[in-house]
Amino acid sequence: MNRLSAVLLVLALAAPAGAQQQLDFLKGIPEYRRAPEALSGWLRQRAETLLEKRREAVARLATLEDVARRRTYIRKRMAEAVGGFPERTPLNARVVGVLERDGYRIEKIIFESQPRFYVTANLYVPKQGSPPYPAVLFPEGHERGGKSHETWQRMLGALAKKGYVALTWDTLGQGERAQMYDEDLGGRKLNQSTTEHTMLGIQCLIVGDNLARYTIWDGIRALDYLVSRPEVDKERIACTGNSGGGTHTAYLSALDDRIKVAAPSCYITSWGRLLATIGPQDAEQVLLPWLAAGLDHGDFLIAFAPKPYLMLSAIRDFFSIAGARATFREVKGLYERLGAPEKLAMHEVDAGHGYHQPNREAAYRWFARWLKGSEESGEEPEIELAEFDELACTETGQVATSLGGETVHSLNLARARALDPGLPEVASRADFETFRDQIRQRVRRLSGIDYEPGPVATEPFGRIERDGYRIEKLVYEGAPGVLVPGLLFVPEGGPARKPALVWVDGRGKSAEAGPGGEIEWFVRQGRIVLAIDPRGLGETRAQSATKSSDWARYFGDYDAAMTAFLISESLVGMRAADILKAVDILAARDDVDAARIGGVGRGLAAVPLLYAAALDGRLQSVAFERMLISYRDAVERRIHRQVLENIIPGVLKQFDLPDLVASLAPRKVLLVDPVDALGRRLWPGAAEKAYARSAAVYMAAGAPEAMRVDRRRMGEGPGQVYSEWLQ
C-alpha cells in the first residue's frame, strides 16, 4: 500500500457515513481540514530546500574577494528582479519653502527622479557646528502621514540637532504622492498604501518589472540630491528607516557604495520565517525570483560587508524576531571571518512593529561611532512637531492635483506598449505551425509547468448514485503530498466509449455539481465529466483568499502566488499541470473516447485551462467562460481584481492571452462572456475586438468557424450556449 492509499484508508475509516454524500468530500474530515495548507506547505518545503543550499554557499564565504563576488551577484540579481533601473536624468530640484526650528531648519524640496515623476522631500539641516556635516538618508515606512509622521519627525529633528543633514521623501502612495488619487472624492482610490503598492506592483510584474524599480530609484536619486548639497560630507553617509523604510535601507545599502553605514529597523528577518508566519508582504518587498536565485535577507547585509551595519529589531514585531536573530548570527560569522566583528551589531526592543525610541537612540550611538568617530549617549532631544500641511511641498498636499506629471501606472503602461514579444506573423498554415510551436515553448518555459504525460494514480473515495448517472469521488497528487480532489460523472448507457470533459470552475468543482446543475446537463448529453479542484481552488483554497477583505478581494491567494514566484513557479502553471493530469486520467479510461476530450474553464480557472490547452493537443475542444480578456487590460486599467493568480512575471514580453487562444487553432474554442481586469463582462464588440488577432490566426490556419465569441443572455442555461459547441 502506498502512502496516499494508507492516508485515504485511515480517513475513510474515520469519516462519518454521511461524509460520502458530500460533494465537497474532503470537508468534515479532520486531516483534510489542512488541505488548503497542503499547497503552502509544499511551496515552503521547496523554498526551504533552496534556502538550505544558499546557507551552505554563504558558510563558505571567507575572504573579501569572496564577498566582492557575491556582492556583484546580489546586485545583478536585484537589478534583474526590478527590470533594470531608469536613466539618470536631471533632478530639476527646487526648494519651495523653509521652516525654521531651534537648532536646525527644514527645507521643503521637489525633485524629479524621472522626467515629470515628482518626489516631495524634506531636508533637515543643522544650524550649529561646521559643515560639511555627516548625513542620513531616511526612506519612509508605510505609516500614515508620510514625511509628517510623528516618529519620523522626532528622529529627523534629533539627527539635525546632533549635527547631521537628514533627507526624507514621500515614497509611492505615501504623503503627497498618492498614485491613485480621486479628485472627485478628494482622497485615495485605495485606502492603504500597501494595497496601492501591490495593485501597481502586479501591473509591473506583468511587464517584467517590480514596483521596487520605482521606489529604489527614488531613493538613489534622493541620495544624488543629498550628496549634491554643499553642507554634506559625501564620505559620511548613513541610511536608516523603519518597516518599508527598513526594506529600502536594506535595498539601497546593498546597491549603492556611497552609503557607509546602515541601520534598517523592523524589516530584516529571514525568508524561511516569513513564509512560516506572515508570508510575502506588499509587492516592492518581494524581489523575484529571490529564493530561486539562492538569496535571502542576509544577502542585503553581505552585500554591505564589512561596513558598519546595525540591525534594529522589535521582539514582538510581525517580522519574525527568530528570523532576524538567525540572519544576524549567520552574517556575524562572516564579519568575524573578515576580521570586522565590531562592525555588525543588533539591537532589540521589547515592543511591536515600529521605530521605538530605544532603537532610535541605538542608531544615534551607531552613527556617532562610525560617522563622527565619537561615543555619544544617544539621548533623543525634544522636537517641535509640524502638521502635514506645514511640511507639504505642494499647494494642495498632493502631487496629483498640484503638479500632475507621471505616475507608476503611466510609466509602466509606456513600458508595456514598447514591448514586442517577437511572435511570428501568421499568414498561412505553415506560419501557424511555427507560431504554435513558439507559443508552446514559451508557455512551458515561462510558467514552470512540471508535467509529462503518463499514468496518474488515483484513489477512490466513494460514489453517489443519481438518476441516469453516477458520481465517483477520487483524488490524485498534483505534487508530492498535494492532493487534487475530483468528481467523475459517468452517464448510464450510451456507446462503450464516450466523449469526455475536464471541468474546472474557479468557485470549485461542486459549484455546478448538484442535481440540475450545469455539469449534469453535459452528462445528460452523454459525456463523462471529470470536475476537479486544481491546487488552491475549491476545497483546497486557502482561507486567507476567501476572507472578505480588500486584500483578498483584489489579490486572491496572494501568499501562494508570490511564494510560487519566489521559487520560479506559478499558480497558473501548477493548475495547468493538474488539469493535464486530469486529461491523462480520462484518456486512460476504457469508457472514454480519447480522441474526443474537451475542457470547460470558468472564472479563475479559465486561464489555467487555456495554458493546459496551449500545451496539449488532446484537448480537442475548449470553452472559456468569464475568462480574463488579456494581461494587457490589467496593465491599462488603474485597478484590477483577481488577476494575480493567473499572471506570470514578464508574461507580456512573451505573449498575451489572445495569443494563447490563437495557438489552439484549428481546435474548437468557445469564449463566453469574456471579462475585463475588474471582472466585468465585456460588451460584445469589445470582446470581438480583443480577439481579432486570434480570429485572424484561425483564418490563416484554415478554421475560421472553429473560434466563436458568445455571451449568456438573461435566463439562459448551458443548452443555449454550449449546444453548438458540442456538435
Q: What whole-number distance in Å separates Cα of residue 548 and Cα of residue 540?
A: 18
What would the grid cell of residue 632 be? 494587457
Give the C-alpha separation, 265 to 354, whole Å.
8
Task: For residue 18, give the 3-state DSSP assignment.
Answer: helix
316 and 361, same domain (yes or no): yes
- Let me know whether 371 and 426 are in one domain: no
Written as nine digits, the cell of 61 is 564565504
The answer to whether 195 touches 554, Cβ cutoff 8 Å, is yes
* Axis-axis angle for helices 558-566, 35-59 (nearest 10): 30
**Residue where a domain stops, chosen among 416, 437, 470:** 416
Question: Are residues 407 and 529 both part of a single domain?
Answer: no
In a domain, 392, yes or no: yes
Pair (102, 250) in one structural domain: yes
Q: What contacts 410, CB < 8 A, 6 or more positions away?
A: none
With 60 as the cut, is the pLDDT of residue 383 above it? yes
Query: DSSP of 159-206, one letter per residue?
Result: HHHTT-EEEEE--TTSTT--SSEETTTTEESSS-HHHHHHHHHHHHHH
Q: Are residues 409 and 499 in the same domain?
A: no
Compute CA 131 distance to the chain's CA centroid, rounded to the nearest angstrom: 44
One domain for residues 219 and 320: yes
Check pLDDT > 60 for residue 12.
no
What whole-number distance in Å separates Cα of residue 708 and Cα of residue 704?
Answer: 9
Query: Is there a domain that residue 53 lies in?
Result: no
- In this model, does residue 13 exceed pLDDT 50? no
Looking at residue 342, which CATH number applies to its domain? 3.40.50.1820
If one counts the domains in the chain, the total is 2
User: Does the pLDDT value for residue 16 go beyond 80?
Assistant: no
Q: Which residues contact 612 (CB under 8 A, 6 or more apart)?
A: 576, 577, 579, 580, 583, 599, 619
In the predicted model, is pLDDT for residue 462 greater than 80? Answer: yes
Query: Same structural domain for residues 382 and 529?
Result: no
685 found inside a domain = yes
Query: Domain for residue 250, yes or no?
Result: yes
In a domain, 8, yes or no: no
Closest to 294 in 3D by CA, of 662, 490, 566, 627: 566
Distance from C-alpha of 637 to C-alpha of 238, rounded to nearest angstrom: 39
Cell numbers for 634: 490589467
Torsion from C-alpha of 602, 605, 609, 611, nearest 10 degrees: 130
Same domain assignment for residues 336 and 426: no
Distance CA 36, CA 556 (A): 14
Report which of 393, 445, 529 is spatially closest to residue 119, judged by C-alpha positions.
393
> pLDDT tens for residues 508-558?
999 999 999 999 999 999 999 999 999 999 999 988 887 778 899 999 999
End-to-end CA distance of the chain: 43
Q: Is residue 674 situated within a structural domain?
A: yes
Q: pLDDT tens digits for 78-117?
A: 999 999 999 999 999 999 999 999 999 999 999 999 999 9
Kindly report whether the global pTM for this prediction surpasses the value 0.85.
yes
Write the CA distances from 231 to 24, 130, 135, integer angstroms: 68, 9, 9
Say whether both 401 and 425 belong to one domain. Answer: no
Element at 312 (helix H, strand E): strand 309-314
Domain of 300? Answer: 64-416
Tell whether 191 is covered by a domain. Answer: yes
In terms of domains, do 329 and 472 share one? no
Distance of CA 1 to the CA centre of its chain: 40
- Pair (188, 283) in one structural domain: yes
Write down the pLDDT at residue 603: 98
3-state secondary structure of 519: helix
Q: Which of 516, 383, 426, 323 is nearest to 697 (CA)?
A: 426
529 contacts 469 by C-beta, under 8 angstroms: no
- Give residue-wise pLDDT tens across range 20-64: 345 776 654 444 434 667 888 899 999 999 999 999 999 999 999
Of 504, 537, 523, 508, residue with least CA distance to 464: 523
Do the domain assignments include residue 24? no
- pLDDT given for residue 726 in this prediction: 87
Same domain, 499 and 388: no
| pLDDT, tens only, 567-611 | 999 999 999 999 999 999 999 999 999 999 999 999 999 999 999
